[in-house]
Structure 1
Amino acid sequence: MRDDTIHEDEDVKEAIRRLPENLYNDRMFRIKRALDLSMRQQILPKDQWTKYEEVEQLFKSLI
């Protein structure tokens, strides 16, 4: 998700701090997986992509 690439200024850090633990863990998993794949110069199989529609409502409910 694009939120994983936003520069973490003070506002973003506070928003991340307020995330429920499960969403924070999901975010960290996506970042680590992206870094690992990038290092190995591989592309994540399409069937493993996170679908924006699946998390859009969840993020909107937090705002």
Structure 2
Amino acid sequence: MRDDTISETEDVKEAIRRLPKNIYSDRMFRIKRALDLTMRHQILPKQQWTKYEEDTFYLGPYLKEVIRERKEKKEWTKK
């Protein structure tokens, strides 16, 4: 999934930490599978590829919340 490849900044790390357990487990499975295939110089079979219409931005809502909270905290510390 597309959100699996986002660079892990501090905001992204916090958003990942807030993911529900099942979504986090699915993410870790996909990442581990990708690393395993890379080490064995293999490609995921085409029938297991994520289809474009199935690719969701699962991290987006959590990331927006983290960024909003960080900006709000920054505003409060200015005062």
Q: How many residues align?
A: 61
Q: Secondary structure at the match of 1:59?
A: coil
- The answer for the alignment partner of 1:20 in structure 2 is 20
User: Are residues 23 and 55 of structure 1, via their aligned partners in 2, closer, same or farther at CA, if it must alter by over 3 Å?
Assistant: farther
TM-score normalised by structure 1 residue count: 0.79
Query: Larger C-alpha radius of gyration, 1 or 2?
Result: 2
1:52 CA drift (Å): 4.2
Q: Structure 2: 5+ residue runs without aligned partners?
A: 62-79
- TM-score normalised by length of structure 2: 0.65
Identity fraction in percent: 75
Off by >3 Å, runs of 4+ in structure 1 = none
Q: CA RMSD in A?
A: 2.0
RCO greater where, 1 or 2, for CA within 8 Å and sep 6 or more? 2
Instruction: Specify every segment of 5 or more residues in structure 1 that has no aligned partner in the other structure, as ranges.
Output: none
CA contact (8 A) 2:2 2:55 kept: no
